[in-house]
């Protein structure tokens, strides 16, 4: 019998329930988190959210597109937004 | 020694090896089985608490405890005496300056290179000369692979998942060299970076694979070809700065020193001359330009370079000291450049290799 050790940590078993999704964005506060790489794109998205869906958008800028948002920015998004839209990828 | 990892038992060697594949616990190659005895030997040699954590490895955040790192180091082929180098490398990679989270998930093909300095490299039998980036040397291969397996199993950035590297390169399996310090006229890398002479240290730097540079002749001739190789339009540095690495072979370094060039003289010459005109870099397209402007807006691109003037010659790094120079390889005709990720991270971090107290 060969005994050996697992190289990984056990998978977390307690999944957190997803937050309740709003049925519409009308009157909803949206935290739009972006790295400002493509400002025209984000500005267009902001307009669509506001004009077409009636959301109030708060733009938040990540200092880097290649690292997670700082905790203070995540807290700000949670405080000022009912939902958040976060841009990723580089 | 009290170990906390899950213990598995299996009565057949081949089945045990296959289990690592089935569970996604290996990089694609077979592993050395991390038996409790082998793992304990590594931890005992390092003289560290098995449950001490060096931090959480991104993106999935598995804690890099000494025990888990030892298990992965055994799997990669490490001996007990190799393990302190693995610990130092992981410690360096977890420095926020390195931005390991980004390095492991970017579309760019950078991989964190481990450069080992100090007498320990000789004791371990590390290769710093002919074929230094290649195969054939256990310590280079096993330390590099032990580090990569730890990132794989604890960080969990996998291709087709959160590792978005477009092409990547074979260094994902192992990427570890030693600097040649005996046949080297200059101070070694770790001493330049603040470690005491005679100490042992690792430096990590995320970069592309080595690009061959046909580099032989007078200092002026070598600098001419190195400058050109550093500012190729395909690399990130020429667009968004960051850091880059030059590996000179001992004969190159000897020729520079014989003619009175210090390492810093070489570095400054390269910084002044490895440049492209804005007209050239703008011809690469609007996406490149957007990145450049983003870096400038973020304050990471020096304002003194007028990016709207087509005749401005832009450097590959913001400062000369962001061009790292290492001496390694055979005494021959070739050097190498290893461009970095650009201004996004992967920056060099140096850490002492701690011996058992």
Task: Say whether B153 and A7 touch across the interface (CB within 8 A).
Answer: yes
d(CA A3, CA A14): 28
Top pLDDT among B293 and A52 is at A52
Burial class of B88 by CB neighbour count within 10 A (0 to 12, 13 to 18, 19+) = buried
- Chain A residues whose CB is inside 8 A of the B102 CB are 64, 66-67, 90
Task: Say whether B101 and A10 touch across the interface (CB within 8 A).
Answer: no
Q: What percent of chain B has pLDDT over 70?
A: 100
d(CA A17, CA A14): 9
What sign does the CA torsion over B36, B41, B42, B43 have? positive
Task: Say whether A5 and B5 touch across the interface (CB within 8 A).
Answer: yes
| Residues paired with B112 in a beta bridge | B206
- Chain A residues whose CB is inside 8 A of the B94 CB are none
The pLDDT value recorded for residue B98 is: 97
List the B349-352 sheet strands across, edge first.
Answer: B176-178, B111-117, B201-207, B349-352
d(CA A28, CA A54): 8
Q: Is A6 on the interface with B (CB under 8 A)?
A: yes
The pLDDT value recorded for residue A18 is: 83
d(CA B301, CA B278): 14
pLDDT digits (tens, 9 = 90+) for A16-43: 888 888 999 999 999 999 887 778 888 9
The pLDDT value recorded for residue B301 is: 87
Q: Give the CA distances from residue B92 to residues B73, B86, B114, B330, in Å, rounded to whole numbers and listed in that order.
A: 16, 10, 9, 28
Give the closest-approach CA distance of A12 to chain B in angstroms.
11
Predicted confidence (pLDDT) at residue A75 exceeds the cutoff of 80: yes
- Residue in chain B nearest A5 by alpha carbon: B7
Phi, psi (5° rounding) for residue B65? -75, 160
| Residue among A3, A6, A36 whose CB faces B35 most closely | A3
| Residue among B5, B11, B290 whose CB faces A6 most closely | B5
Mean per-residue pLDDT for A3-21?
87
Give the closest-approach CA distance of B211 to chain A in angstroms.
24
Which single residue is written with the structure tokens 């760019």? Answer: B108
Instruction: Give the tokens for residue B14.
Output: 């081949």
pLDDT digits (tens, 9 = 90+) for B107-129: 999 999 999 999 999 999 999 99
Give the closest-approach CA distance of A3 to chain B in angstroms.
4
CB within 8 Å of chain B, chain A residues 7-66: 7-10, 35-38, 63-66
Whether A9 contacts B68, CB under 8 Å? yes
**CB proximity list for B238: less than 8 A, separation 6 or greater:** B231, B232, B276, B281, B314, B316
d(CA B278, CA B310): 5
Mean per-residue pLDDT for A36-54?
89
**CB proximity list for B206: less than 8 A, separation 6 or greater:** B98, B103, B110, B111, B112, B113, B340, B341, B345, B346, B347
How does DSSP classify residue A57? E
Give the closest-approach CA distance of B265 to chain A in angstroms.
33
| Residue among B23, B39, B344 whose CB faces A90 most closely | B344
Q: Is A67 on the interface with B (CB under 8 A)?
A: yes
Instruction: Give the tokens for residue A2.
Output: 């060969």
The pLDDT value recorded for residue B288 is: 86
- Residue in chain B nearest A65 by alpha carbon: B344
The pLDDT value recorded for residue B15 is: 97
Confidence of residue B1 (pLDDT cuts 50, 70, 90): confident
Predicted confidence (pLDDT) at residue B84 exceeds the cutoff of 90: yes
Closest by Cα among A73, A41, A37 to B295: A37
Mean per-residue pLDDT for B206-229?
98
pLDDT digits (tens, 9 = 90+) for B47-80: 999 999 999 999 999 999 999 999 999 999 999 9
The pLDDT value recorded for residue A89 is: 66
Name the pTM for this structure.
0.94
The pLDDT value recorded for residue A90 is: 58
Give the closest-approach CA distance of A39 to chain B in angstroms.
10
Whether B331 contacts B255, CB under 8 Å? no
Instruction: Give the tokens for residue B254.
Output: 């000897």
Confidence of residue A64 (pLDDT cuts 50, 70, 90): confident
| Residue among B34, B99, B107 whose CB faces A5 most closely | B34
Task: Say whether A9 and B11 touch across the interface (CB within 8 A).
Answer: no
With vertex at residue B272, the alpha carbon angle to CA B279 and CA B238, rounded to the nearest 5 degrees, is 45
The pLDDT value recorded for residue A33 is: 92
Predicted confidence (pLDDT) at residue B27 exceeds the cutoff of 90: yes
Predicted confidence (pLDDT) at residue B299 exceeds the cutoff of 90: no
The pLDDT value recorded for residue B21 is: 98
The pLDDT value recorded for residue B310 is: 95
The pLDDT value recorded for residue A65 is: 78
pLDDT digits (tens, 9 = 90+) for B231-263: 999 999 999 999 999 999 999 999 999 999 999
- Chain B residues whose CB is inside 8 A of the A3 CB are 7-9, 35-36
The pLDDT value recorded for residue A60 is: 93
Closest by Cα among B98, B206, B209, B80 to B146: B80
- Residue in chain A nearest B344 by alpha carbon: A66
Whether B207 contacts B338, CB under 8 Å? yes
- Chain B residues whose CB is inside 8 A of the A2 CB are 9-13, 16, 33, 35
Q: Output the average pLDDT for chain B.
A: 96
| Residue among B13, B25, B297 whose CB faces A36 most closely | B297
Task: Say whether B16 and A36 touch across the interface (CB within 8 A).
Answer: no
The pLDDT value recorded for residue A15 is: 76
- Residue in chain B nearest A70 by alpha carbon: B96
- Residue in chain B nearest A11 by alpha carbon: B62
Q: Is B201 helix (H, G, I), strand (E, B) or coil?
A: strand
pLDDT digits (tens, 9 = 90+) for B146-161: 999 999 999 999 999 9
Give the closest-approach CA distance of B345 to chain A in angstroms.
8
Closest by Cα among B206, B212, B217, B247 to B345: B206
Confidence of residue B291 (pLDDT cuts 50, 70, 90): confident
Mean per-residue pLDDT for B270-297?
90
Mean per-residue pLDDT for B31-46?
98
Q: Is A71 on the interface with B (CB under 8 A)?
A: no
């Amino acid at each position: 019998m060969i005994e050996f050790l697992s190289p990984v940590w056990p998978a977390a078993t307690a999944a957190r329930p997803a937050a309740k999704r709003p049925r519409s964005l009308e009157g909803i506060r949206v935290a739009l988190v972006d790295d400002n790489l493509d400002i025209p794109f984000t500005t267009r998205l902001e307009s669509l959210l506001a004009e077409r869906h009636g959301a109030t958008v708060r733009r938040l800028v990540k200092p880097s597109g290649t690292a997670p948002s700082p905790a203070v920015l995540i807290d700000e998004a949670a405080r000022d937004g009912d939902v958040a839209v976060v841009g990723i990828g580089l | 020694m009290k170990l906390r990892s899950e213990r598995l038992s299996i009565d057949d060697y081949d089945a045990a090896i296959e289990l690592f594949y089935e569970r996604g616990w290996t990089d694609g190659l077979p592993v050395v089985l991390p038996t409790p005895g082998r793992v304990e030997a590594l931890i005992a040699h390092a003289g560290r608490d098995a449950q001490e954590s060096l931090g959480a490895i991104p993106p999935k955040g598995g804690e890099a405890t000494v025990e888990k790192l030892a298990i992965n180091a055994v799997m990669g082929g490490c001996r007990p005496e190799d393990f302190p180098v693995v610990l130092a490398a992981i410690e360096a990679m977890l420095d926020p300056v390195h931005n390991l989270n980004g390095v492991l998930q970017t579309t760019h093909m950078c991989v964190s290179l481990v450069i080992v300095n100090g007498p320990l490299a000789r004791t371990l039998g590390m290769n710093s000369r002919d074929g230094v980036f290649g195969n054939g040397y256990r310590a280079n291969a096993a330390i590099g692979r032990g580090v990569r397996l730890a990132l794989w199993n604890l960080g969990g950035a996998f291709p087709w998942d959160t590792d978005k590297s477009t092409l990547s390169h074979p260094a994902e399996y192992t990427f570890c060299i030693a600097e040649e310090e005996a046949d080297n006229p200059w101070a070694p890398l770790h001493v330049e970076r603040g470690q005491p002479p005679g100490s042992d240290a690792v430096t990590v730097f995320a970069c592309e694979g080595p690009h061959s540079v046909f580099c032989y002749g007078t200092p002026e001739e070598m600098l001419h070809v190195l400058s050109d190789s550093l500012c190729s339009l395909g690399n990130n540095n020429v667009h968004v700065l960051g850091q880059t690495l030059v590996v000179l072979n001992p004969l190159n370094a000897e020729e520079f020193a014989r003619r009175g060039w210090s390492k810093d003289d070489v570095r400054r010459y390269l910084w002044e001359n490895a440049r492209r005109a804005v007209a050239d870099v703008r011809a690469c397209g609007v996406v490149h330009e957007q990145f450049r402007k983003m870096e400038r807006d973020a304050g990471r691109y020096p304002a003194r370079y007028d990016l709207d003037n087509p005749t401005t010659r832009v450097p590959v790094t913001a400062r000369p000291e962001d061009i790292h120079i290492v001496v390694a390889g055979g005494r021959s005709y070739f050097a190498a450049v290893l461009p970095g990720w650009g201004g996004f991270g992967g920056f060099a971090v140096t850490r002492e290799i701690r011996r058992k107290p």
